[in-house]
Amino acid sequence: METTKFAIPEIIFGRGSIRYAGQYALRHGAKKVFLVSDPGIEDAGWVQRLMDILKAEGIDWIYYPRVTSNPRDYQVEEGAEFYLKNRADVIMAIGGGSAMDTAKGIAIIASNGGKIRDYEGANRVQRPLPPMVFITTTAGSGSDISQFCIITDVKRAVKMSIITRTLVPNISIVDPLILRTKTEKQIIQSAVDALAHAIEAYLSRIASPFTMPQSLKAVDLILRNLQPAVETRSLDSLEQLSIASIAASMAFSNAGLGAEHALAHSLGGQFDMSHGVVHPILLAAVMRFNMPSCPSKMADIGRVILDKRLGSDNETGLAGIAKLEEFFASFNVSLRLSDEVGEADKQYLEPICKMAVNDACNLTNPREASWEDFLSICEEVW
Amino acid sequence: METTKFAIPEIIFGRGSIRYAGQYALRHGAKKVFLVSDPGIEDAGWVQRLMDILKAEGIDWIYYPRVTSNPRDYQVEEGAEFYLKNRADVIMAIGGGSAMDTAKGIAIIASNGGKIRDYEGANRVQRPLPPMVFITTTAGSGSDISQFCIITDVKRAVKMSIITRTLVPNISIVDPLILRTKTEKQIIQSAVDALAHAIEAYLSRIASPFTMPQSLKAVDLILRNLQPAVETRSLDSLEQLSIASIAASMAFSNAGLGAEHALAHSLGGQFDMSHGVVHPILLAAVMRFNMPSCPSKMADIGRVILDKRLGSDNETGLAGIAKLEEFFASFNVSLRLSDEVGEADKQYLEPICKMAVNDACNLTNPREASWEDFLSICEEVW
């Protein structure tokens, strides 16, 4: 086997585990925490809860609330100025992927200078980042576990993938109690995001014995627990979705993703769509496209989805993909691109696809994908 | 679920991955590496290889070769003096559990002062340790992954368990090519050690969804690959044993161990026996003792060992244990305590068992075990 690397943060998992946030910040030398969140999390009461925890530990903080969904380049650059001006140390984020990616972007600029687009791609960040203690409020983005950071380049209207080992936070606190304050839509979108991470990481060219079991475990847990989680909001189901998201994140952070994410980043950048919305539209089509390059791996995924193997790898793989489409259809989500994008915007598909082939995620896709391949996938799911 | 923690080092895995040792030392600020190893590893040429790698990166080093099997308290205290006198920084160990535990012991004393016995038990180390970059030469001890360090207290003749998060090395380099230079006996003892880690961690009171799949994966890989690894020395089998050892180590480092290790530490401290020798003697007997407290978990292990489930949990669990005994018997290892310890030494069993109940590993055993329980286990396997 070629050399493979596996890095994850220290994970603190469990109901009520948010209470350890202050202690872990202290362990990383916190005197003045830079706290990143957004109004939604504030309204749910979690920001105040965190401030109380910091106060109890005698830690000062400065609050940065200007997180939007799909964070933009100028936002993280403003945030870094704010961080430096306030002489903060440990960066703490509480929120979903947007809050955590904003915090990561701020961490990069604050310690490495320049503009965020200077760091697009893999391993472009040279200097160490401030310590990061993240508390995820969703079970999907995986930003609390991963070495990925996705920031929109506003001028080019594209989501940039910034990927480097130093973006793995020091501490990831995962408290399933927080998921109870999420809407049905948020729970579904997050789980679908984790599912796409798990599947693309499994099929990745650089999947390893350390990432592959994590992928399959995540697929299994999401298929079994998303419906009950949506219907009953039982803490047990939400907890299982949290575990699935962590497993999926361990996998994709270390194995990378594929063509589906490459395309999702370009589509999302152009049309301001979140990942959770794009995946049910694209994932099955991209899997069918990849099928010829990895029938045996596709059969492994099929076996988990179907809970049995059929006659051949091909049969098992395709039946698994079909069942996955049924799974998506059982939730109230868009299944066609035209449900989300107007007819007039169809003209952007070609430039979007031309941008997608250059996304870092496309490098680890099991089958080489050209912009024409991407375009025919978009047309197939239109 | 109660709060659970999961921490592992950054893992660099693959054939030839030793070549990255210098780069990772540099990343952790190395100017003068404190290099720990032993004559066996030197003879196999690995110490020289590592020195060449450090030289190529322009890193200075000081070599500390005084590692013995079952490292002793005075040795790590001497080593710490040597470290401080030489103003070294990054601690690099290449070797098996003894070399790595010696390095960990030195790291504790060098940065926290005092005597090593001051740190016996869980979470007694307060100050941060120097960066540690470890290269394991066996697939078993797991010291390159774990928060454990085992040092013999010579006066009390006991192996002390020192367990704390800060003992997780920064970097674990696992190069399966190194395993090719090991003897058959070393390969078997290491695999048996990893197997005992996996099983005890699975049954632990604090096993978690992050550790349990790693345990089962390790059991599966060792059962399938040890025989071919011994017979053919194929690199593929040795690589699978390396993966198994990493999985087992991720599990036990975060879930803890049990009564079998508690007893192994006391027996090993008294009779200077390595873990790999003690486990085939004790493991099945301790599993039978634990059976009533965790029949369903024991059945999970049985299912992996047997590759099927039988009628009941009890039946599956017991058949798994019986099959495990057959597995041990298929190798040239001692299966009775009297094969290793003379009749005259039987008098020490009672004090050994009285010491074992206080070992930190006994805290996470699924069934409460008194010294009398330990004694009857020793008599059963005598």
A163: CATH: 3.40.50.1970
Q: Is residue A3 part of a domain?
A: no
In terms of pLDDT, which residue wins out, A273 or A43? Answer: A43
CB contact under 8 A, B213 and A210: no
pLDDT of residue A286: 98
A78 pLDDT higher than 80: yes
Q: Is residue A250 part of a domain?
A: yes
Q: Are residues A232 and A144 in the same domain?
A: no
CB contact under 8 A, A3 and B17: yes
Separation CA A149–CA A105 (nearest Å): 7
CB contact under 8 A, A13 and B3: yes
Q: Is residue A206 part of a domain?
A: yes
Q: Are residues A222 and A164 in the same domain?
A: no
**Nearest C-alpha in A relative to B2:** A14
Domain count, chain B: 2
Q: Is residue A165 part of a domain?
A: yes
Q: Is residue A2 part of a domain?
A: no
pLDDT of residue B242: 96
- Domain end, chosen from B151, B178, B205, is at B178
- Domain end, chosen from A137, A155, A178, is at A178
Q: Are residues B220 and B164 in the same domain?
A: no
**Which of A119-128, A333-342, B78-87 is most confident?**
B78-87
pLDDT along chain B (382 residues), means of 10: 92 97 95 95 95 97 92 96 97 96 98 96 92 94 94 90 94 94 90 96 97 97 96 94 97 96 90 85 97 98 96 97 97 92 91 93 96 96 95
Q: Is residue B320 part of a domain?
A: yes
Confidence at A299, pLDDT banded by 50, 70, 90? very high
Domain region containing A307: 183-380
Residue with tokens 């017979």: B231
- Give pTM, 2 decimals: 0.93
- Residue B15 identity: R
pLDDT of residue A74: 96
Q: Are residues B42 and B90 in the same domain?
A: yes
Q: Are residues B271 and B134 in the same domain?
A: no
Q: Is residue A1 part of a domain?
A: no
Q: Which of A1, A7, A213 sits opposite B15 (nearest CB)?
A: A1
Q: Are residues A96 and A164 in the same domain?
A: yes
A312: domain CATH number is 1.20.1090.10
Q: How close B126 gets to chain A, by Cα (Å)? A: 10
A14: chain B residues, CB-CB within 8 Å: 1-4
Note the residue count of chain A.
382
pLDDT of residue B131: 97
Q: Are residues A71 and A214 in the same domain?
A: no
A375 pLDDT higher than 80: yes
Taking any CB pair shorter than 8 Å as contact, residues of chain B touching chain A are 1-8, 10-17, 20, 165, 176, 208-210, 213, 217, 239, 243, 246
Q: How close A3 gets to chain B, by Cα (Å)? A: 4
Q: Are residues B218 and B338 in the same domain?
A: yes
- Domain end, chosen from A149, A178, A207, is at A178
Q: Are residues B171 and B99 in the same domain?
A: yes
Task: Give the strands of the sheet with B148-153, arranged side by side.
Answer: B121-122, B158-163, B148-153
pLDDT of residue B269: 81
Q: Are residues B231 and B158 in the same domain?
A: no
The per-residue pLDDT for range A170-224, each reduced to its tens digit, is 999 999 999 888 889 999 999 999 999 999 999 999 999 999 999 999 999 999 9
pLDDT of residue B196: 97
Q: Is residue A151 part of a domain?
A: yes
- Residue A215 identity: S
Q: Are residues B360 and B218 in the same domain?
A: yes
For A148-205, the DSSP string reads EEEEEETTTTEEEEEE-GGGS-SEEEE-HHHHTTS-HHHHHHHHHHHHHHHHHHHHST
Tell me the three state secondary structure of residue B124: coil
Q: Give the HSE-up count for residue A104: Cα atoms under 13 Å, Cβ half-sphere.
A: 32
Q: Are residues B192 and B326 in the same domain?
A: yes
**Nearest C-alpha in A relative to B173:** A5
pLDDT of residue A269: 81
pLDDT of residue B247: 97
